[in-house]
Amino acid sequence: MSQFDVVVIGAGPGGYIAAIRAAQLGFKTACIDAGVNKAGDAPALGGTCLNVGCIPSKALLQSSEHFHAAKHDFAEHGITVGSVKFDAAKMIERKDAIVTKLTGGIKFLFQKNKVESLFGKGSLKGRNGDLWQVEVDDKGKKTIIEAKHVIIATGSIPRPLPLIEIDNVNVLDNEGALNLTKVPKKLGVIGSGVIGLEMGSVWKRVGSEVIILEALPTFLAAADQQIAKEAFKVFTKEQGLVIELGVKLNEIKNSKKGVTVSYEVDGQAKEETFDKLIVSIGRIPNTEGLNAEAVGLEKDERGFIKVDAECHTNLPNVWAIGDVVRGPMLAHKASDEGVAVAERIAGQKPHLDFNTIPFVIYTDPEIAWVGKTEEQLKAEGIEYKKGTSGFGANGRALGLGKAKGTVKVLACAKTDRVLGVHMIGPMVSELVAEGVMSMEFSASSEDIARIVHAHPTLSEVLHEAALAVDKRALHG
C-alpha cells in the first residue's frame, strides 16, 4: 500500500497548486483527479477552471471580440475589410487547443515537482493509526493509499434548476455553452452573474439575439452599484443585450422547436422560445463521493465543508480549500488557499486576507473590484471619502478605441486608508492588481496619488481617481 505525506483530492486550480507547493516543501505528495478531456478518452488535469470554465471562456470572449472589431471597429482605424465571416466551429477548435496545452502543462509540472498523479475518484475510508486511508476509484478499479494529511479540493458543480434538466443539447450549463459549434439565432440565459454575462456577450457579438433573465431585482448585486449601473447601461443600450430583472420563472419546456420559458416580470406574464438556453444560476460545492458522512466530515446547511480560518476541517489532518468551502468561488482564491495549507502543514504561518481578493468579470468593458463597495460602507456605518475618474479623457484608452468606463477609489474618511477600488473599463482585470497591492500594504489614497504612473497608460485613470479622493484631480 502506497503511503504519502500529503494526498490532494482534486486537481483544479486549488488542488494542483496545493500538491505542487506541498512537493516543493519536501512532502511526498499525490493528487487524485477523475477529470477527462473533451473526447472522454484521456485524463485531463485542471478541474472546471481549465477545462470548462475560466480559461476556455476567456478564449471565446477574445475570439468574439476580434470578430466584432473586424465588423464594427476597424473602419475608424482606416482599415477596410471585405465580407467578414464567422466560423463557430473554428473558434471552439482554438479554445480546445488552449485547454489541451494548459492541462498538459499541469501534467508536466507534476512530473517536474515529483507529484504522483492518480486517476480516479478519491474518497475517505477512515483512519489506520495516524494515517488516513483514501480510496482511488478508477472506473471500478479500486486501490487504497494512505496519507498523513489529506487536502480536499473537489470544487463545485453548476446549481441545478428544478424546472428543467440540463441536456447540453438545447438546455446548457457552462460546459455546453462553451461547446456550441453553431451560432444560435435566439439565445436565452438564466442568471446574470459572471457566466451568464460572459457567455451572453460571446454569442451576442457573433450574431445571436440574447435575452438574460435574472431573478434578483438588482443587477450585479455584489458589485458597487455605481459601476453596476454603468455596466447595465452599456450592455443593454449600447450592446443590445436584453436583461430582465426581478424575473419569476413559471415553466420551461424543451421540445424539438426549441426551449420555451414562461415567466413574469412585475406581475406581467411573458414567454420566449429560444434555440438554446444557458442555465447559469450559480454553483454548489461538490462533495459527492467523498464518503463524508461515513467518516464524520462536517458540512454546513448549504453543503459546504466546514473549515476554520486556516482551512482545517473537524477531522484531524484533513483540510479543505476552494469552492468546496466558505468564501468566494474564485480560482485564485482556491490557489492561494492551496499554497497556504501546504505551508501550514510544513509549520509555516502564511496569511490570506479575504478582504483583498479581487473579483473580475471579463465582459467588454471588463468589470473588476477589490474591497468594500460604497453600499457596504454605508451599511456598516464606516465614514469614507471617494474619488472617481473616467477613461473618456485617457490617451491610451482613446488610442485603443476603448474609452468607456470609470474607476472609483474608496478611502477611510479619518485615515485615508484604501477600503475599496472598483472599475469598469478596458483591461481593468489587470489594473485591479494595483488596488489589491495597495490594500495589502495598507496604503492610503494619497500613496497611490503620489506614485508616478507611466504616461500614457490606462493606470493613469486609477491615479486620477486617487487624486480625486482628496479633491485634487488634475484632468477631471
Residue 455 among the catalytic residues: yes
Dist. CA 131–CA 129, nearest whole Å: 6
Q: Is the pLDDT at 1 greater than 90, yes or no?
A: no
Residue 412 inside a domain? The answer is yes
Tell me what the mean pLDDT of segment 279-287 comes to.
97
182 and 202 fall within a common domain: yes
428: in domain: yes
User: Do 141 and 22 share a structural domain?
Assistant: yes
Q: How far is CA 361 from CA 105, 195, 323, 398, 414, in A?
A: 25, 9, 18, 22, 32
The answer on 126 and 189 residing in a single domain is no
Nearest CA to 286 out of 306, 307, 303 is that of 303
- On average, the pLDDT of the chain sits at 97
Q: What average pLDDT does range 419-436 have in this prediction? A: 98
3-state DSSP assignment of residue 144? strand
Are 277 and 288 in the same domain?
no
Find the CATH number of the domain harbouring 75: 3.50.50.60
Q: Are residues 454 and 418 in the same domain?
A: yes
Total-model pTM: 0.96
Question: Is pLDDT at 6 greater than 90 in this prediction?
Answer: yes
In the predicted structure, residue 366 carries a pLDDT above the cut 80: yes
Q: Are 250 and 333 in the same domain?
A: no
Confidence of residue 476 (pLDDT cuts 50, 70, 90): confident
Indicate the annotated binding residues for FAD.
Answer: 58, 122, 154-156, 323, 329-332
pLDDT of residue 179: 95
What average pLDDT does the segment 457-475 reach? 97
- 462 and 390 inside one domain: yes
Question: What is the tens place of the pLDDT at every residue in 205-225?
Answer: 999 999 999 999 999 999 999
Question: Based on the domain organization, do 230 and 92 belong to the same domain?
Answer: no
Q: The domain that contains 437 carries what CATH number?
A: 3.30.390.30
Q: How many domains are contained in the chain?
A: 3
Annotated binding site for NAD(+): 191-198, 214, 282
Question: Could you tell me if 204 and 151 lie in one domain?
Answer: no
- On whether residue 354 sits in a domain, the answer given is no
Strands 141-152 vs 318-320: parallel, antiparallel or unpaired: parallel
Task: Quote the pLDDT of residue 347.
Answer: 98
User: Catalytic: which of 312, 455, 463, 475?
Assistant: 455
Residue 391 and residue 338 share a domain: no
Same-domain status, 321 and 179: no
Domain co-membership, 71 together with 212: no
Structural domain boundaries, residue 207: 171-281
For the stretch 394-427, pLDDT in tens is 999 999 999 999 999 999 999 999 999 999 999 9
pLDDT at 52 over 80: yes
- The three-state secondary structure class of 250 is strand
pLDDT score for 408: 98
